[in-house]
Structure formats: structure tokens, C-alpha cells
Amino acid sequence: MPRLSAAARHRIGFTLNGKPVSVEAEPRLLATDALRHGIGATGTHVGCEHGVCGACTILIDGVPARACLTLAVQLEGREVTTVEGLAPAQDRLSVMQAAFRRHHALQCGFCTAGILISLEAFLREEPDPSEQALREVVGGHLCRCTGYTPIIAAALEAAAILRQPITTSTDAESAHV
Ligand code: FES
Ligand code: FES
């Protein structure tokens, strides 16, 4: 990466949820602030701001990352996915999001974006996870509502739906988007 002037703002470009975006950022600007304040993608939440709570989790080139530990300039040229990019269309939820709604797993919703990102990425790697494996994934997210039971139930149900072959149901269609 080229050496950047600390005092100057630099225009960085990356792909956000499938669309090219750009934002001006000083080298010290965090990815969370670039997303939320620079671009207006406020779905990514900020809790602890030091990598512990998981609320800010995004995908960078498909890999979960703490956006509060990532500098905005590190997004240059990357494929970034935030919670806004999980739904296959504006009027359709992803399979995981729909399962969260059915199981009341949103609760207050503050930590939900990060949990959805981590679970969706995990299911791509492990489509038939054990409950324990899912508990370990959400163990990287501190939920102040302390209601992990509906989150795990939703994740197990979403995994089961995603393993089904394509049908005409909304969920199964979404599973293959
Ligand atoms: S805000 Fe990034 S881990 Fe808590
Ligand atoms: S749902 Fe409220 S903090 Fe997790």
C-alpha cells in the first residue's frame, strides 16, 4: 500500500453490497465511521469500538471483520458487505433474516446486524452446523439483551432451509440468491 499523508484526506473506492462507492478519508478514519458517516450505511452498528462486542462486523472480500478495527483506507478495492446487502431484494428478507423474524431473535436489534453477518458467512462454510458450533459463532457477539436462545433457534432453522433444494417457497428462493 502506498504511504499516505496523515494530514490529508484520500479518496478511496470499494464495492459496497455490489455497488461501487467512494469516500474521502484521513488515514486514521475507521471503516465504521466511513460507512456510517461518509456513505450513510448506518446498518453497521458501533458498540465497544475496540473489537470485543461484534456489533460492527462486516464482510471484507467475504471474510468477517470488525469494522471498528479496520481503517477505511484498508477497504480500497475490496468487496464489502454490510447488513444492508444481505436481503436479496428490497421487499424480501434473506433466509436468515426471515428466520430471525419468526423466532423473535431481533430483540432490541442493536447487535443483530453483526450477528447476521457472522452467521451468514459461517453457513456458507458450514451448511450443516451443530448447535454448539453456532453458539461459538455468536459467542463473538455480546448481546446486551442476553437472549441467545432465539438467535440459535433461528440460525438452526435457516441452516435447515438453506440445505433444502430449490422450491417455489420464498425462503428457498432466497436461499439460492
Ligand atoms: S464496535 Fe466493533 S467490536 Fe464492538
Ligand atoms: S438484541 Fe439487543 S443487544 Fe443484542
> For residue 73, what is the DSSP state?
G
Tens of pLDDT, residue by residue over 146-177, are: 889 999 999 999 999 999 987 655 544 444 44
Rounded CA separation 34/23 (Å): 7
Please provide the DSSP assignment of 149-166 as one string: HHHHHHHHHHHHHHHSPP
Ligand nearest to the CA of 47: 1
Q: Structure pTM? A: 0.91
Rounded CA separation 104/85 (Å): 21
Ligand nearest to the CA of 146: 2
Same domain assignment for residues 77 and 107? no
Cα 106 to ligand 2 centroid, rounded to whole Å = 7
CATH number at 117 reads 1.10.150.120
129: in domain: yes
Same domain assignment for residues 74 and 109? no
Cα 60 to ligand 1 centroid, rounded to whole Å = 15
CA 99-102-103 angle, to 5 degrees, is: 85
Average pLDDT, the chain: 93
Among 56, 85, 114, residue at a domain's last position: 85
